[in-house]
Amino acid sequence: MKTESLDKSIDVLIDTIMKSTIKAVDENRIEDSRALFDEFVVDGKEPLTDNFEWLYTYYKFDDSMRGMEND
Percent of the chain surpassing pLDDT 90: 27
pLDDT (0 to 100) of residue 65: 56
- Cα distances from 27 to residues 13, 16, 20, 40, in angstroms, run 21, 16, 11, 19
Report whether 52 contacts 6 (CB < 8 A): no
**Position 64 pLDDT exceeds 90:** no
Q: Which amino acid is at 63?
A: D
pTM of the entire predicted model: 0.63
Q: What is the average per-residue pLDDT within 12-20?
A: 89
- Greater model confidence, 39 or 51: 39
